[in-house]
Amino acid sequence: MAEGKENAGREPVLIVKDVTARFGDNVLFEKVGFQVRRGEIFAIAGESGCGKSTLLKIMIGLLKPASGTVWMEGVNVTGAGEEQMRRIRSGMGVLFQSGALFGSMTLGENVALPLREYTDLPAPWIDRVVRAKLAMVNLGGLEDRYPAELSGGMQKRAGLARAMALDPGILFFDEPFSGLDPVTSAELEVLIRRIRSAVGSTMIMVSHDLPSLFNLADRIILLDRGARGILAEGDPREMKRDAVDGRVARFLHRAVPDEKPEEVGK
């Protein structure tokens, strides 16, 4: 059983109800609904182009859905004004699919950005938080490096440090493992699990990387372009075992371990 399941409260921190996404005539999905509970690692899976990133942008209030509602911590994100949105943003961290870091800024400056934007902390305090966050992702001492000087895995970790800057209750990751080799992905998985155990943040991850879904997610939803919505929802291991729908079985049976590996490097 997934380790976070017992710990995860039943209380929903994020509610998505009847959300429809459309670009012009292109309807990606219709009346999608699900709830994410406090403390769980929840993943949105599905093939490329099914609308995972679009759904994530709707959840964090970057994009308005054609219809439907999203509540985060009881606040209506889809109906929020600028001031409310600012408050919502200060309580969440996001690791975007592309362009996670600003190349013209050092790692330290990148991680400091949300602190400068959302807090009144004096500069020495910001420096202290920046150093702590970089140390948390095993990048201690690299404050003055530029993103281009780092490997892909280190860049993802720096992006994670920036997403964690404000100690958010909810973290969103869009394809955190894309472009990483299996070893680097596994290291990032361990780090994400460790952060969840230490901080207890709710994590919402978009991914089509099957091994990481099985290793990390307590629950997943499987989005499907043809179905214009959610094909299946639940514990990915149970879904894989019990899949009756051919599309669900095909997606989950591509190439994955049956059991979650032991936590390493703790």
Ligand X SMILES: Nc1ncnc2c1ncn2[C@@H]1O[C@H](COP(=O)(O)OP(=O)(O)OP(=O)(O)O)[C@@H](O)[C@H]1O
Q: Which residues in the 185-214 window bind ligand X by CB under 6 A?
A: 208
- Measured from the CB atom, the residue of 76 and 97 that comes closer to ligand X is 97
Q: Which stretch binds Mg ion (CB under 5 A): 52-60, 129-137, 148-156, 253-261?
A: 52-60
Q: Which does 50 bind (CB under 5 to 8 A by kind): ligand X, Mg ion, none?
A: ligand X
Least separation in angstroms between residue 61's CB and Mg ion is: 17
Cβ-closest residue to Mg ion?
Answer: 53
Rounded Cα distance between 38 and 168, Å, is 12
Q: Which does 90 bind (CB under 5 to 8 A by kind): ligand X, Mg ion, none?
A: none
Q: Which residues in the 48-87 window bind ligand X by CB under 6 A?
A: 48-54
Chain centre distance of CA 20: 20
Q: Is 102 in the site for ligand X (CB under 6 A)?
A: no
Out of 16, 39, 53, 77, the residue judged to bind Mg ion by CB under 5 A? 53
Least separation in angstroms between residue 20's CB and ligand X is: 13
Q: Which does 54 bind (CB under 5 to 8 A by kind): ligand X, Mg ion, none?
A: ligand X
- Measured from the CB atom, the residue of 143 and 209 that comes closer to ligand X is 209
Site size toward Mg ion, by CB under 5 A: 2
Least separation in angstroms between residue 260's CB and Mg ion is: 25
Least separation in angstroms between residue 56's CB and Mg ion is: 8
User: Facing residues of 224 across strands?
Assistant: 229
Chain residues in the site for ligand X (CB under 6 A): 23, 28, 46, 48-54, 97, 208
